[in-house]
Amino acid sequence: MNDQNWKAEYINWKSDLKPYQIKLLEEGPNSNSQTLLLNDMWLEWKHLAAKRKIAEISGKSLIEDPWNEELLPCKIKKSEIDESYLKFVEVRK
């Protein structure tokens, strides 16, 4: 994710860009409305870049799934938790 070459990354990531969008990215805006369109594309690029970064981080297993069956402190599996079990636990408190 680099703000310096965001336009090239955006063109590579988005395969459905229209010709006027590509021209706007390559040549820059000439009017206020074109500036707004360019800003919208930059915001979308920022969103895509953040999603890619999150996927990269989660792919490295830095974030553990709290519902992972192996990590649960009790012996009851998530699929076994129902209303009757929740009532039982509430009574025990």
- Residues near 54 by Cβ (< 8 Å), separated by ≥ 6? none
Section 3-26 average pLDDT = 90
Reported as a single tens digit per residue, the pLDDT across 21-44 is 999 999 999 999 999 999 999 999
Count the neighbouring beta carbons within 10 Å of the beta carbon of residue 45. 20
Q: The whole model's pTM is what?
A: 0.59
Reported as a single tens digit per residue, the pLDDT across 53-86 is 888 877 665 556 555 655 555 666 666 667 777 7
